[in-house]
Amino acid sequence: MRIAYCVLRRKKQSTHYTIRNTEKDVTIKIEERIDDLLNQMTLLEKIGQMTQVEKNSIEVADIKRLGIGSILSGGGGNPELNNPSEWRKMVTTFIEASLESRLGIPLIYGSDAVHGHNNVYGATIFPHNIGLGATRDPDLVRRIAIATAREMEATNVLWNFAPAVSNPRDIRWGRTYEGYSQDVEVISALGRAYVEGLVEMGALPSVKHFVADGGTTWGSSTRVSAENMALIDNDPTLANTKVGDWMFHYLQLGAWKLDQGISDIDEETLRRDHLPPYLAAIEAGALNVMASYSSWDGKRMHAQHYLLTDVLKGELGFAGFVVTDWEAIDQIDDDFYTAVVAAINAGIDMNMVPFKYHRFITTLQRAVECGDVSMARIDDAVRRILRVKMQLGLFEKPMCDTPLSVVGSAEHRALAREAVQKSAVLLKNDANLLPLPADTEHILVAGEAAHSVGYQCGGWTVEWMGKPGAITPGTTILEGLRAQSDTEIVFDPAGEFEQTAPIGLVVLAEEPYAEGMGDREDLRLSAEHIALIERVRSKVEKLIVILMSGRPLIITDQLPQMDAFVAAFLPGSEGNGLADLLLGAVPFTGKLSYVWPRSMEQIPLSAQNGQTPLFDIGDGLTT
């Protein structure tokens, strides 16, 4: 039996909206325009508006012919020449095609700009959300959203598939770094701030993934397994990842054990730990929500009428539209017709197809003609989509005039540097080793990650999973130290030094990953990491360790070897912000927003059972 109450207080949503770049209240006019358009639209044109296609799969002529509502770039969905100018040309081509459709309804272009406009080579890459959670600074997060929106708008991308307001209860999850915190109040405050920043710039935030995507149970995901690699051949998304022979390696490490799994929690827990950030985002003006791949109460979230329609649209008063995650409808049922009917009737308004859009359009058309999906449900979905497009001002101004020079601008990189400074957390500092003494003669620096923008940025950077190395312009920790200090710095990625030194710095990093590819069964430091620490420890009097990771890792046995330990998480393109902290140009102020477990036995969070973790939420030293 359903719980008939909500533990949240719902603020009445305003029915007054302002079209971008005007001061005129046009609420009534918008509804009248929607009525007029709906009366003119054919069923196929309505379904076209409910269809979102991946940019490499769309035939441009079909945008005009079918009235496609949205095009997107997935992770790594870049033009052949990846630069801001080519991005703008690409997106403009799609928008212009939509304006040539029978009714001239503009499409909206979407992208996963989850830590800056991160698909674009040369864009400013900000810290991932786990780092921003450590800042406890809503104003900073709002300013990052504004900067991200400006870089997006320069390429005519107005829909950002962010923020993630997940509450990761099991840090083995490969999307842990997409969550601001394990504290629902921190998540709500920062998610609200990010939405406010995008809305202020006239961009569309997509609050995700509704709901309880961070509450899945280990081993409950059925996406793919090492025992049945043949599933990959039937999965176009995974087949397109180009992981190849490495897939088996990732699966052996634990990939796809948590992501897209089952949230085996009761409704009270769902409402307490996972729902409040959505209310905060709606109150801040969010007009799009993305549904989760995960399941709850025996159903995929994409088929959850109770949560999508009764709770989100009814109880919380959400007036925007719900979009699926990438190819997620397909997971509801093996029979695609059954899956489409279930999703649309549950409250899905737009389908991120992303590949076989003709199949989706003809299937939904047949479902309406057979009476399995009502015209009222179709009209409601299209009304929601058109309302958002009108509120964004797309009918008046479908393309932007933001100069390309804002992408990766000095102003935005300075903001990213500030975010790095505020997000790093100092967790050990024996004898006040940090900041480094100005008279330090020389330092031994080790670890490939000390000189790798790719390791700093992590996943969702230019490519879906990111990669080590010079993946995009930025500054590394090593470059920052050398630029700001006269101290002699000797760098060896492997830490195989012949000389000794008073101070050594080891920079460790997780391999970049994204989504279920980053699910890991064991979060202890690797043998290579441990050996690197030991090699450098034997050559120095004092040792500093910086860990760049998408989640807390188990460091309990190695911590005694460190005189100072810094959790830098995934700081993004501006590694000089970490050099600022090490050298004392600015103080450490970051505070953990996650529980840092002492051992694997304390994972997931429910396994704590009153035991003391290594570090707790709120821990962090100040210099």
pLDDT tens-digit profile of 153-191? 999 999 999 999 999 999 999 999 999 999 999 999 999
DSSP string, 2-70: -----SSPPPPPP---B-TT---B-HHHHHHHHHHHHHH--HHHHHHHTEEEETTT--HHHHHHHT--E
- Which pLDDT score, from 0 to 100, does residue 7 have? 34
- Which pLDDT score, from 0 to 100, does residue 64 have? 98
Query: Can you list the alpha helix ranges (DSSP code H) found in 70-128?
Result: 84-99
- Which pLDDT score, from 0 to 100, does residue 97 have? 98
347 burial via Cβ count (<10 Å: 0-12, 13-18, 19+): buried
Residue 229 or residue 448, greater confidence: 448
pLDDT more than 70, % of the chain: 94
**Predicted model pTM:** 0.95
| Tens-digit pLDDT profile for residues 235-280 | 777 766 656 677 888 999 999 999 999 999 999 999 999 999 999 9
- Which pLDDT score, from 0 to 100, does residue 5 have? 28
Mean pLDDT of 560-573: 98
- Which of 193, 116, 99, 111 shows the shortest CA–CA distance to 157? 111
- Which pLDDT score, from 0 to 100, does residue 244 have? 66
Residue 400 or residue 233, greater confidence: 400
- Which of 170, 172, 169, 168 shows the shortest CA–CA distance to 520? 172
| Tens-digit pLDDT profile for residues 117-144 | 999 999 999 999 999 999 999 999 999 9
Using the 8-state DSSP alphabet, how is residue 306 labeled? I
- Centroid of chain to Cα 605: 21
Q: What angle do CA 318, 388, 295 make, to 5 degrees?
A: 45
pLDDT more than 90, % of the chain: 90
Residue 614 phi, psi dihedral angles, 5° rounding: -65, -45
Domains of the chain as residue ranges with CATH: 27-221+256-398 (3.20.20.300), 424-607 (3.40.50.1700)
- Which of 288, 302, 294 shows the shortest CA–CA distance to 212? 294
Mean pLDDT of 502-511: 98
| Tens-digit pLDDT profile for residues 1-46 | 333 323 333 233 334 444 444 445 556 689 999 999 999 999 999 9
The pLDDT of residue 554 is above 80: yes
- Which pLDDT score, from 0 to 100, does residue 12 have? 33
User: For 282, how many CA atoms within 13 A lie in the half-sphere containing its CB?
Assistant: 28
| Tens-digit pLDDT profile for residues 35-87 | 999 999 999 999 999 999 999 999 999 999 999 999 999 999 999 999 999 99
The pLDDT of residue 379 is above 90: yes
- Which pLDDT score, from 0 to 100, does residue 247 have? 85
- Which pLDDT score, from 0 to 100, does residue 3 have? 35
- Which pLDDT score, from 0 to 100, does residue 22 have? 44
C-alpha dihedral sign at 569, 573, 575, 581: negative
The pLDDT of residue 548 is above 90: yes
C-alpha dihedral sign at 440, 445, 451, 457: negative
Supply the residues annotated as catalytic: 325, 515
Mean pLDDT, all residues of the chain: 94
Burial 531-548 (b: 16+ CB within 10 A, else e): ebbebbbebbebbbbbbb
Integer angstrom CA distances of residue 201 from 119, 145, 152: 20, 9, 10
Mean pLDDT of 598-619: 95
- Centroid of chain to Cα 155: 19
Mean pLDDT of 329-334: 96
| Tens-digit pLDDT profile for residues 419-432 | 999 999 999 999 99
The pLDDT of residue 487 is above 80: yes
